[in-house]
Structure 1
Amino acid sequence: MRKIGLTGGIGAGKSAVAELLVAHGAVLVDSDRIAREVVAPGTPGLAAVVAEFGPGVLAADGSLDRPALGAVVFADPERLRALNAIVHPLVRDRSAELEAAAADDAVVVHDVPLLAENGLAPLFERVVVVDATEQVRLDRLTRLRGMTESEARSRMAAQATREQRLAVADLVVANNGTREQLAQRVAELWAELTQAQ
């Protein structure tokens, strides 16, 4: 089994790279998706988040109100650390379960947004960083995700710097161009990840 870490700053296109890798045959362990699962209604994770942040982070239907929670944690590093202390261990446990279920010859790609921030690079055989310029990322976040420029910059500032991410990279996927260019680069990446298997 190949254990690959995949990361990139918000708006860099990490999810698009993950999707393309799956199309090539990778087994994806998506930390963001798992992070949503572990705080779904009725879970101990959601109960712990509400105990820490109060009922104001719940939507009317009893699910987590992500924008309300985001407004709190992205404005205050201490509150973000408190949230991470609840969610990260739950995500780590579920990720390990999914990895254990993969075939022996699988390329298991762990999509981990905060890989650099949390010093997780040593856990992986190789780390792939999806990289895009700040201006490209800002444009994607405002144009495609509907964030204001201030919101986008706040989210970007809450993550590792581009330099910090690149410092942990074994392989870099530049994503400043078209989807077709990205698909070609990911095909090359897949060849690199599977050549010595």
Structure 2
Amino acid sequence: MRRAIIGLTGNIATGKSAVMRLAAERGALTIDADRVVHELLDGDAAIQEAVAAAFGPDVRRPDGRVDRAALGRIVFGDAAALRRLEGILHPAVRGEIARRVADADAPVVMIEAIKLLEGPLAEVCSQVWVTACSRETQLSRLRVCRGLDEADAAARVDAQNPQADKIARADVVIYTDGLLRDTEAQFNKAWAALPLA
């Protein structure tokens, strides 16, 4: 069976989840790399040990799971610490995503990964879709939807590579500053152009 594998990326709070929902509604298998990370931090003992060894015992909860909030306070303001964490997590995440893609029977697989283009995951994708919006929209979404204060929201936005870098490598760009129906119209046009749609 021919399969379209779409890599979906975009900086934090640019609307990737909305695009993933639209794809799932149309029958795609959707894989959220961030959710895979959370599953590993919650359930993979080897990952939990490696994270604690790298960042100290205070990043673990009494039940052994990684305290993501404590870990976030360490890595989001420190580029070297973030790279160290990514070195621990990314190989395991790529392996789990590859397993899910291999097991999939859906004609379209959409993999959402905020750092899709910074690693080898993009190589397995037949198309790269990027969500984009203004910095003001990102900050507002982080404050309203995730409850972050202004400083934390700005730190998370600033920790990422510029949106323009992702847009330059995209096959499809979906701009999400407008209403959801505007996002959906852009999605529908890109979806209709897929080889299997």
User: What TM-score does the superposition give when structure 1 sets the normalisation length?
Assistant: 0.92
Identity of aligned residues (%): 37
Which has the larger displacement, 23-32 or 176-185? 176-185
Q: 1:162 to 1:119 in 2, by over 3 A?
A: farther
Query: Is the aligned partner of 1:189 residue 2:184?
Result: no
Give the aligned residue type for 2:49: A
Q: Which residue of 2 aligns with 1:21?
A: 23
Distance, in Å, in 2 between the alignment partners of 1:82 and 1:147 is 24
Query: Is the aligned partner of 1:155 residue 2:162?
Result: no
Q: 1:42 to 1:125 in 2, by over 3 A?
A: closer
Give the aligned residue type for 1:116: L
- Give the superposition deviation at 1:32: 0.7
Which has the larger displacement, 150-159 or 183-192? 183-192
Distance, in Å, in 1 between the alignment partners of 2:5 and 2:196 is 13
Which has the larger displacement, 66-75 or 40-49? 40-49
Q: Which residue of 2 aligns with 1:132?
A: 133
Distance, in Å, in 1 between the alignment partners of 2:35 and 2:97 is 10
**Runs of 4 or more above 6 Å deviation:** none
CA RMSD of aligned residues (A): 1.6
Q: Which has the higher helix share?
A: 2
Query: Is the aligned partner of 1:55 residue 2:54?
Result: no
Give the aligned residue type for 2:14: A
Q: Which of 101, 120, 128 pairs up with 1:99?
A: 101
What do the CA deviations read for 1:23-79 (whole angstroms, capped 9, x no partner)? 011111210111111122452111211121111101344321111100101111111
Maintained 8 Å contact 1:58/1:65:
yes
Q: Which residue of 2 aligns with 1:90?
A: 92
Aligned length: 195
Q: 1:42 to 1:30 in 2, by over 3 A?
A: closer
Give the aligned residue type for 1:181: D
SS in 1 for 2:41: coil
Q: Which residue of 1 aligns with 2:169?
A: 168
Q: Which residue of 1 aligns with 2:70?
A: 68
Gaps of 5+ in 1: none
Maintained 8 Å contact 1:57/1:65:
yes
Distance, in Å, in 2 between the alignment partners of 1:168 and 1:6 is 12
Give the aligned residue type for 1:166: I
What do the CA deviations read for 1:91-143 (whole angstroms, capped 9, x no partner)? 0000000000112x611111111123336433321100011111111111112
- Give the superposition deviation at 1:181: 2.0
Which has the larger displacement, 180-189 or 146-155? 180-189
SS in 1 for 2:109: strand
Distance, in Å, in 2 between the alignment partners of 1:111 and 1:67 is 21
Gaps of 5+ in 2: none
Which has the larger displacement, 42-51 or 125-134? 42-51
